[in-house]
Structure 1
Amino acid sequence: MSVSLGGILALGAGYLAMVFLCALAVERGWVPPRLIRHPGVYSLSLGVYASAWAVYGSVELASRIGYGYLAYYLGVSGAFLLVPVMLVPIQRLARTYQLASLADLFAFRFRSRWVGTLITLITLLAILPLLALQLKTFGDAIHRLTGAGSPIMLALILCLPIALLAIMFGARHSHLPVRHDTLLAAIAVESLVKLAAMLALGGVALYGVFDGPNDLQQWLTGPGLDLQARVARLETGQWRTLLMLFFAAAFLMPHMFHMTFTETPSRRALLQTGWSFPLYLLLMALPVPLILWAAQRLGIDTSASGAAYLAFDISTSPWVDGLAFIAGLAAASGTLIIVALALAGMVLNHLVLVAHPPGNRPNLYRWLLWLRRGLIVAVILGAWLFYRTVGIKHDLADLGLTAFVGIAQCLPGLLAILYWPGANRKGMVCGLVAGSTLWLLGLWLPLVADYSPLVLVPPGLDWLRDEPPWYAVTLIALYANILIFILVSLVTRTSEGERAAAEACSVDAVIRPKRLPLTARTGEDFKPLLAEALGSEVAEREVESALAALNLSSRDGRPYALRRLRDRIQANLSGLMGPSVAQDIVDRFLPYQSRSQATDDIHFVESRLEAYRSRFTGLARELDGLRRHHRRTLARLPIGLCIFDDDGELLMWNEALSRLSAVDGESIIGSHRDDLPAPWAELLARMHDEPHAYLYKQAVALASELRYLTLHKAVLDPEEGDRGAVVILVEDHSELKWLEDELLHSERLASIGRLAAGVAHEIGNPITGISSLVQNLRYDTEDPQVLESAEQIQQLTQRVSRIVGSLVGFAHGGRHVQGTRFVPVELRRLSDEALHLIRLARSGEDIIYDNFCPPGLKVMGDAQRLLQVLINLIGNARDASAPGSRVTLDASAREEWVLLSVTDEGHGIDESIRDRLFEPFTTTKPPGEGTGLGLPLVYSILREHHGDIQISSPPPDQTFGTRITLWLPRTLQDDSNADEPDSDR
């Protein structure tokens, strides 16, 4: 006894205070989050598996069976080498459905609250010996070092601060699946401490007792050889069975399930543990034989009951004793904290809440939190009571093996969850009860009642009677468990709920929820419905939390969105109360509408496939590639496409239709056809009800613009149990419709031109006759009044002749013959004639026209086509002008060019279309009033005349209006009497 009781308690208190300070530093943000969430920290936190068994029990086991102690490390390492095929699928389920324990997982898969209760009870019975093992090491180590006090009371003293740590850093949230970064960091620190302590003890043994590796090798081949030969060797069957037990413990023990699946930061971090965690265990295992050999070198009896504590005997230094104590305390305290947290959640969800549902009570979150805290204390005190009454009588190996054999009874059920969709609840319960009963009779009850193990050996396996009890019980219990599980599952029926859960749990399955409508119409309706079960405050908080997580609005009434919201609420409640209670609440208060047949939710299946596509291999990868190709083809078709289920729910809304409708497809997927925004609800409903397969050029107002849409429909009949669908294609034929209207308008204009030519011809003959008669009248009379009247009639007939000539010329002026010879054209006459024809239209009579073109200014060109240019420009200016405003024509000469401008005082031209004015069908006029072909025609005629056009809106000398300036080639010689225009005009 080299250490005082006060000193060792101070050392223990100092260590726990250090752990507390580490957790506090993380809690206060003194440690960078990037470091805390590093995969290496998570790998270290899994070191909670290395409990007091790894420090003391492994030494005891090594003294009994030699290298067989490695099974404890190799079994769990083998489990983590299978991370992608075993642990990642379980992590996916735990994350998706917020399953915080093994009982949650079984209750979810087999759709029964009583299954969760059964798993919780078996886990409690199995874990009590392991917890007693941790406390036994506390008491025995302190008693061995100090020789003072009772080991039982010494263990109780350390239980209290451990329970406080578990509450402070593990029970601060109502939801179990919330990651506890502080606790994770604290457990990682403990793992580092016990690893460092064990390696230091190994160093003491190697260099303190031995003089290094050479001395150790000489001893092993000399005096130590006989000692090693006396150690019993495990038979092959026993070795494999131990590997299987520790393999199962890697994910069945409550503390390992909690750390592996609830606290994992990411899938990447879990995959990294496939090599980092086995490396950690290898380092933990290395010092064990060194400690054993050092004790044998010193002549210590390693076969005695105290073989577990040989680390205290290899040196008389108090520092070495302190290292051995700290290693055991770090291992045991971490295990106690995590087991207490995990078991408290299991007991709360599957025992307390099943027996006493929460109901509509005030402060539900606070009530659940204090219940969980009380259960943490109860678990630790229950473990101490089990140690006080049972554990103190048995060695570490017996306690540990009893726990591992008991928890292994859940292994067949877990494997069935992942790999056997045909397994059902009855088969699993029957097999588990049979296996657990054999385990209780063979190992657990003999541990408690201190009588010989009752091993029920079936006929034909009599050789097992001579085997160690743990080995015989393990084989018989697991064989009975598996056999009964398979037989009962094969002969009994699997419920629909179990089949759906089995599909969700299968390793390669893609979750396929059913498309069913809910009784609630919007997310807001969920709150009063859930308030009946949870209270208004809790119901509102849970609904708002689920809406925020899904980025949905409470007013969203899409059936697809409501199904996702319901699933999210159920998952959140599962984290709060367990999957069984959560499912009961959701099924009762958020029910689906009864319907004869439900189909797969295709859109959700698509989203799940996208999430899983990086994990597909082989044929599945090729099929998924084909699916994505077809999906992309439909999504990116240049024609709008939408698909409706036969009950009117929208399944697809492709990109072209999103652009056309200005409605994002993701925001309306899952909506009912009648709930789509206007005008699509009415239009698509009419198309759906249309007996024909198309609707041609339907006028639809989209974004304040009239568009013409053609719809085609294809009805997909049901096949192989799937329901039918309706596919609708939407084509935008607006430009085609406008082009057809323009062609019709052009044809009308051509008809008017031909009519004008005919009318002009018919009018010309009478007018010629009138002119001739008037001329004759002037020679037949001398009466001044008659002569004056004759002169007026002659002038009027000449005016009519000019008008008729202009109409005939305009009717034939649109036909341009290639190679037409340009001639000098006087702009003044051309502009007067254009104004004259504009006035004939009898529209815009309240517009004032000013013609400032100087006489005699000529250009080279085709008079009729230039007349068409002026009429187009003056007509546009007239249409843009308000009543009483002016339209001004002006012209000036500049070297080899003549500048002809048309200026109005209208509203001007918007900048957004100014650069596109000369493109066909670009117009600023309302639909039906402009074709958008006038300016392109003007531009074409000017290019034929080797001219150009310039637009200013507004002009530099005005604050509004538009000025269009034409640049035309000037004739070589103007009339000699023409005034030279001012070039700056």
Structure 2
Amino acid sequence: MLLVYEISGLELWLHSSNDNIATIQKPIEDSPWRSMLLLFFASVIVMPHMFHITFTENRDEHSLNVASWAFPLFLLVLSLAVPVLTWAGIKLNLPFSPEYYALGIGRALDKPWLTVVSFVGSLTAASGLIIVTTLALSSMILNHLVMPFWRPKANLDVDIYRALVRLKRLLISALIMTAYGFYLLFDSQHSLYSLGLVAFVGVLQLLPGALCVLYWPKANHYGFIAGLSAGCLIWLVTMLVPLMIDISLYNQSLVVYQNMLYDNWHRIVFLSLGANAGLVVVISLFTRMRPVEASAAAACQVESPTRSNRRIPIASSTYEFQEMLSKPLGSITAAKEVQKALCDLNMREDETRPHALRRLRERLEKNLSGLFGPTVSHGIVETFLPWDQQKDYVAQDIHFMESRLESYHSKLSGLAAELDSLRRYHRDTLDKLPLALFSVDANQEVMLWNQAMSKMTGIDASKVVGLNIRHLASPWNELLCQFSSLDNPHLHKHKLEVGGTQRYFSIHKAMVEAPASDTSGNISGNLSDNKVMLLEDRTENQMLENQLFHSERLASIGQLAAGVAHEIGNPITAIDSLAQELKILSDESDTREVASQMLDQTQRVTRIVQTLVSYAHSGQTRHEDSKSAVVSLKHCVDEAISLLQLSHKNSQVRFENLCHHDHLVAGDQQKIQQVLINLIANAVDASKANDKVSLHTAANAHTVTLTIEDQGHGIPPCIQDRLFEPFFTTKEAGKGTGLGLALTWNIIEEHFGSIRVESPVNKVLKTGTQFIISLPRYEAENHSANKNIDPATRESIASRPESMMEGEVL
């Protein structure tokens, strides 16, 4: 309400004061208003406290964008009270200078509370200005004057952060005492307006350098120092020195000269500023920026638009960064700085990708520049985090360019926007291509890893982009490194073990020539070879080819078996006839026993040939051909071991038959023996010399369980579910058909049993495999009339105790 009243009173006063209106409307010709506006707007970036608030306290792009309009708006709102206070002072005829009108209004109106409020507000504003200004100046002095010559030593007993805080507090105290001494020097001889005017003109000499930093990259420190020296010299001679010396004590004519300078201060502003800016431009055009200066300038940028250095850091992980920085900073400070940089970049602690480590190095330099200044931080990083001189990163940093284009996507227009849309289209096309595609640069770093490649390998693109292919997870690193070094652009049906499963891949590659860039970021004429590779999973096709190959082999075996059966059938029939006749005509018991054995063996040969023919035609035996009989597992195991020990390799493995002779099953002895031969042969193949293969049985009233255990390398869990699939094998081509376990499964199923595998047996060493077979137990009372009993089994049954005939569990 008070402000509304004051503004309405100001309007009435203006309407009643024609002389004042005429003065306001009078055209401004030669007056200091231009210089005043320049000082007012330039103060936003050249005054130390303004610079600190605008830039130092706003490090990200979004905050700078907000500050670019919010801070000037704040200053505008503050200045709205100036016309009101000025009019109030003139209206009340206050006997004070205009800078004290805020205090004099309350006194003139006899309102002490208004005077107290104005005083507290002025004191608060002055205190805030002192605090912010001393903070800004202390940081500048610490980073640019103190740290280049001295910094705290890094050891476990010294906290660098605490030491820097103490040093900054000391500088703040020194600045406040210096300002107070400056006040005592003048002893209120000059008005606040005169002191402020001289200070503003002096600080204005920083304007050309600040504008060059923002808008003219070719400017350098030679031009800045020359221009600043010239401008400050003019300001010093014409404004500061006359203010500090009482010229009236020396010569009265100098007093006239001093008054003339004060009256023409606005001309001095443009004179000093013109000399300053002219020297900055001229000298910068004829001199070049030093590499250290360019690097320091890049470190101060929020986001560098280009990368001037494309080399690889010698530190290969974030842990090595921390270890190397422990020398200049101490272990605690180094750990904090590395963690802060990782957090700023949203990186993992186990990051090893070269392009990510380059970003981490740059971020560390930026963060350290806030502690020590750009010069000292650059020296620390260059000394203790050097580049690897043996490895130059000469390819374009595509990952960085992608991130920059993404950030500028909304700002592009015209042809640039169309090109960016085309880039996105091609990138998405490659990423969503249904074929596994990836590319590497000349340093074997992954630049592209599409979705199909991630699905095939199980490795996400975010984890491998920028990573050297030799650091990929096994077995992909070996495969890709080996193929990348080959001259042949194609590799067909390469066998690879992935997750314990044999898979087949075909790989194709093409060379892509890309322009290389030198260490300054310029495109050079040298060409670096990038590779684009296509990966195809040919496992299913290979399995179909293997099945076709095995089918052809089975057909050949069938033809061979039919021929063998035909050729063997005639002599076996003759032998069988002779044996029957010998058994009938002979009176000697030994002769009749031999004849019986001959008949048994001829029947066995006949059944083997029939089984071979049946299996060759269908791949499995037929249930209707099975004949149920009493089978002794111990006898079958002994016979299978005897057959397998004929091989030299099998003779080096120890066999242990712990099967109980009374554990009998109902089934086909020939087929059960075939099952045992298959399983024991597999156990031998997995075993080493002097390993043991043991077989033992356990039984209950209705089931006999046979366990075959080896001490071999075991079977990976990921392939155990596929062991009994037809044509599935882990053996090399030509050494296994993948049909043995499939046939075993069918035979066990024919006998109404079950088979399962457990591996590894030794959980510590991850070795050993057990095949556990369960078969129906032979029950004597239900088969008393059964004639199909093997002689060895019949002998075993006859020798059993009566208690075992009743199904007693052993």
| One-letter identity of the residue aligned with 2:531 | V
Corresponding position of 2:564: 759
- Aligned with 1:575: secondary structure? helix
RMSD across aligned positions (CA)? 5.7
- Aligned with 1:546: secondary structure? helix
**Superposed displacement of residue 345, structure 1:** 1.4
> Alignment partner for residue 181 of structure 2, among 358, 366, 385?
385
**Superposed displacement of residue 687, structure 1:** 3.1
Asked if structure 1 preserves the Cα contact closer than 8 Å seen for 2:491 and 2:508, the reply is yes
Asked if structure 2 preserves the Cα contact closer than 8 Å seen for 1:950 and 1:965, the reply is yes
Asked if structure 2 preserves the Cα contact closer than 8 Å seen for 1:851 and 1:888, the reply is no
Corresponding position of 1:424: 220
Superposition map of 1:181-196 within 5 A:
none
| One-letter identity of the residue aligned with 2:42 | A
Corresponding position of 2:243: 447
Corresponding position of 2:370: 575
Corresponding position of 2:617: 812
The alpha-carbon distance between structure 1 residues 778 and 705, as it changes in their structure 2 partners (threshold 3 A), is closer
| One-letter identity of the residue aligned with 1:332 | A
Corresponding position of 1:329: 123
* Separation (CA, whole Å) in 2 of partners of 1:647 and 1:353: 38
Corresponding position of 1:40: none
Percentage of pairs with the same residue: 36
* Separation (CA, whole Å) in 1 of partners of 2:457 and 2:601: 59
Asked if structure 2 preserves the Cα contact closer than 8 Å seen for 1:311 and 1:324, the reply is no
1:831-868 Cα distance to aligned partner (Å, 9 max, x none): 99xx99x99996799697955479xxxxxxxxxxxx99
1:322-366 Cα distance to aligned partner (Å, 9 max, x none): 011112111111000110111111112222333556667973735
Superposition map of 1:129-528 within 5 A:
207=5, 215-222=9-16, 224-230=17-23, 235=28, 239=33, 241-264=35-58, 268=62, 271-273=65-67, 276-277=70-71, 280-300=74-94, 310-356=104-150, 363=158, 365=160, 366-390=162-186, 392-449=188-245, 469-496=264-291, 510-518=305-313
Corresponding position of 2:404: 609
| One-letter identity of the residue aligned with 2:278 | L
1:224-276 Cα distance to aligned partner (Å, 9 max, x none): 34345446968389555543432222232211222223334865555445665
Corresponding position of 2:553: 748
Superposition map of 1:894-909 within 5 A:
none
* Separation (CA, whole Å) in 1 of partners of 2:575 and 2:739: 41
- Aligned with 1:218: secondary structure? helix
- Aligned with 2:531: secondary structure? strand
Asked if structure 2 preserves the Cα contact closer than 8 Å seen for 1:291 and 1:314, the reply is no
Instruction: Please tell me whether residue 724 in structure 1 is matched to residue 724 in structure 2.
Output: no
**Superposed displacement of residue 413, structure 1:** 2.8
* Separation (CA, whole Å) in 1 of partners of 2:593 and 2:679: 41
**Superposed displacement of residue 675, structure 1:** 6.0
* Separation (CA, whole Å) in 2 of partners of 1:890 and 1:736: 48
1:777-798 Cα distance to aligned partner (Å, 9 max, x none): 899x787788887777566545
* Separation (CA, whole Å) in 1 of partners of 2:427 and 2:672: 52
* Separation (CA, whole Å) in 2 of partners of 1:520 and 1:792: 80
1:519-552 Cα distance to aligned partner (Å, 9 max, x none): 55666666786676x4xxx332343223323458
- Aligned with 2:288: secondary structure? coil
Superposition map of 1:951-962 within 5 A:
none
Corresponding position of 2:482: 686
- Aligned with 1:346: secondary structure? helix
Asked if structure 1 preserves the Cα contact closer than 8 Å seen for 2:49 and 2:129, the reply is yes
* Separation (CA, whole Å) in 2 of partners of 1:394 and 1:439: 18
* Separation (CA, whole Å) in 1 of partners of 2:38 and 2:443: 52
TM-score by length of 2: 0.69
| One-letter identity of the residue aligned with 1:752 | I
The alpha-carbon distance between structure 1 residues 561 and 421, as it changes in their structure 2 partners (threshold 3 A), is same
| One-letter identity of the residue aligned with 1:426 | Y
Superposition map of 1:822-971 within 5 A:
825=624, 828=627, 851-852=665-666, 883-885=694-696
Superposition map of 1:608-647 within 5 A:
608-609=403-404, 612-613=407-408, 616-618=411-413, 619-620=415-416, 622-627=418-423, 630-631=426-427, 643-647=439-443
Corresponding position of 2:330: 539
1:499-528 Cα distance to aligned partner (Å, 9 max, x none): 666677789962425232445566666678
| One-letter identity of the residue aligned with 2:616 | A
* Separation (CA, whole Å) in 2 of partners of 1:424 and 1:724: 34
TM-score by length of 1: 0.58
Asked if structure 1 preserves the Cα contact closer than 8 Å seen for 2:341 and 2:364, the reply is no
Corresponding position of 1:714: 510
Superposition map of 1:657-676 within 5 A:
none
* Separation (CA, whole Å) in 2 of partners of 1:494 and 1:401: 34
Asked if structure 2 preserves the Cα contact closer than 8 Å seen for 1:641 and 1:656, the reply is yes
* Separation (CA, whole Å) in 2 of partners of 1:798 and 1:682: 55
* Separation (CA, whole Å) in 2 of partners of 1:613 and 1:919: 56
| One-letter identity of the residue aligned with 1:759 | V
* Separation (CA, whole Å) in 2 of partners of 1:964 and 1:739: 33
The alpha-carbon distance between structure 1 residues 938 and 799, as it changes in their structure 2 partners (threshold 3 A), is closer
* Separation (CA, whole Å) in 2 of partners of 1:759 and 1:626: 70
Asked if structure 2 preserves the Cα contact closer than 8 Å seen for 1:504 and 1:510, the reply is no
* Separation (CA, whole Å) in 2 of partners of 1:631 and 1:256: 44
**Superposed displacement of residue 749, structure 1:** 3.4
Q: Which moved more, 1:749-758 or 1:294-303?
A: 294-303
Q: Relative contact order: is structure 1 or structure 2 higher (C-alpha 8 Å, sep ≥ 6)?
A: 1
- Aligned with 2:330: secondary structure? helix
Asked if structure 1 preserves the Cα contact closer than 8 Å seen for 2:395 and 2:442, the reply is no
**Superposed displacement of residue 317, structure 1:** 1.7
Asked if structure 1 preserves the Cα contact closer than 8 Å seen for 2:322 and 2:335, the reply is no
* Separation (CA, whole Å) in 2 of partners of 1:441 and 1:259: 31
For structure 2, the residue ranges without an aligned partner over 5 or more in a row are: 249-259, 516-522, 646-654, 685-692, 759-769, 777-784, 787-810
| One-letter identity of the residue aligned with 1:254 | P
Asked if structure 2 preserves the Cα contact closer than 8 Å seen for 1:427 and 1:488, the reply is yes
Asked if structure 2 preserves the Cα contact closer than 8 Å seen for 1:645 and 1:651, the reply is yes
The alpha-carbon distance between structure 1 residues 868 and 279, as it changes in their structure 2 partners (threshold 3 A), is farther
1:70-112 Cα distance to aligned partner (Å, 9 max, x none): xxxxxxxxxxxxxxxxxxxxxxxxxxxxxxxxxxxxxxxxxxx
Asked if structure 2 preserves the Cα contact closer than 8 Å seen for 1:877 and 1:902, the reply is no
* Separation (CA, whole Å) in 2 of partners of 1:799 and 1:962: 27
| One-letter identity of the residue aligned with 2:561 | A
The alpha-carbon distance between structure 1 residues 632 and 312, as it changes in their structure 2 partners (threshold 3 A), is same
Q: Which moved more, 1:359-368 or 1:278-287?
A: 359-368
- Aligned with 1:514: secondary structure? coil
The alpha-carbon distance between structure 1 residues 576 and 872, as it changes in their structure 2 partners (threshold 3 A), is same
* Separation (CA, whole Å) in 1 of partners of 2:706 and 2:681: 8
The alpha-carbon distance between structure 1 residues 250 and 708, as it changes in their structure 2 partners (threshold 3 A), is same
* Separation (CA, whole Å) in 2 of partners of 1:695 and 1:611: 37
The alpha-carbon distance between structure 1 residues 542 and 701, as it changes in their structure 2 partners (threshold 3 A), is farther
The alpha-carbon distance between structure 1 residues 917 and 756, as it changes in their structure 2 partners (threshold 3 A), is closer
- Aligned with 2:11: secondary structure? helix
Asked if structure 2 preserves the Cα contact closer than 8 Å seen for 1:427 and 1:484, the reply is yes
| One-letter identity of the residue aligned with 1:298 | L
The alpha-carbon distance between structure 1 residues 830 and 406, as it changes in their structure 2 partners (threshold 3 A), is farther
Q: How many residues align?
A: 712
* Separation (CA, whole Å) in 2 of partners of 1:402 and 1:934: 101
